[in-house]
Structure 1
């Protein structure tokens, strides 16, 4: 007689869907270790979203960027173990790829607040909940020659 096959356990969030459809767009719930920006980009591609606005909150490890006009690039600052009090952003397209613009405010364990443009965002302990409102028209981003920043073209 053969021994029983041992099944490996899979974390519940690994097999759970990460988003569901709503009347105005989607609700996304991400879990520890998920890359928030990547998941939003994948949603845009998979669901063929023309453009969208989103908001969210949760536990995160963010990398903020402050726009350095002289360098025409962001000066980054990474943080660990923060709670995102508010995140807001938009989904558009540039060179046929999703182009996100995301800002947020986080607090540390002492309730100090930090915020700005988000360059990278990983879910920390717990989860991140995001509400995505889809718009009917496709929006594109283009580089503003004066500032060097990618801005929406209406």
Structure 2
């Protein structure tokens, strides 16, 4: 009888812990990721958020014509890419558990999809710095703040040859 009681109690405790975990995940997913400012938006991203994905989602949801952004915060993973012009591709390198001392970039469009161009500088616990084009960025312990300044004109990016690089297209002034 006592063994069965212990099994029931263990099952109830497991269910309670599981439900609390699910409720916490739901609360995290419902947290506000951005707010409107006079110049554009302020994003506050949390641990595990994919920064490029969140900026792209904001651009789609708010139909941002174009923008520039800056940011700071902690990164779980920061993948930088160095573009090899002879091979016409990025050589990626990932750094884990770094602080993003600087993030800068722009939002434009490539057809119906937002095109995010991001650079940054990351430092590790030895204060060594790494930087360049950011291919992937995931928020680490803490948060990441991104300040987005919206531009009124819609800008496009197109792949230009012979570089095979996605280049921002500017409208000609008259």
Q: TM-score, normalised by structure 2?
A: 0.83
In our comparison, the structure showing a higher alpha carbon Rg is 2
CA distance in 2, matches of 1:14, 1:129: 17
Q: What is the aligned counterpart of 1:54 among 69, 84, 101? A: 69
What are the ranges of 5 or more consecutive residues in structure 2 without an aligned counterpart?
A: 1-15
2:110 to 94, 109, 112: 94
The aligned length equals 150
Normalised by the size of structure 1, how large is the TM-score?
Answer: 0.93
In terms of fraction of residues, the more helix-rich structure is 2
Q: Tell me which residue corresponds to 2:44.
A: 29
Unaligned runs of 5+ in 1: 1-5
Computed over aligned residues only, the root mean square deviation of the Cα atoms, in angstroms, reads 1.4
Structure showing greater relative contact order (alpha-carbon pairs closer than 8 Å, 6 or more residues apart): 1
Q: Secondary structure at 2:96's aligned position in 1?
A: coil
Q: 4+ residue stretches of structure 1 with deviation over 3 A?
A: none
Q: Tell me how far apart the structure 2 counterparts of residues 51 and 13 of structure 1 sit (CA, whole Å).
A: 28
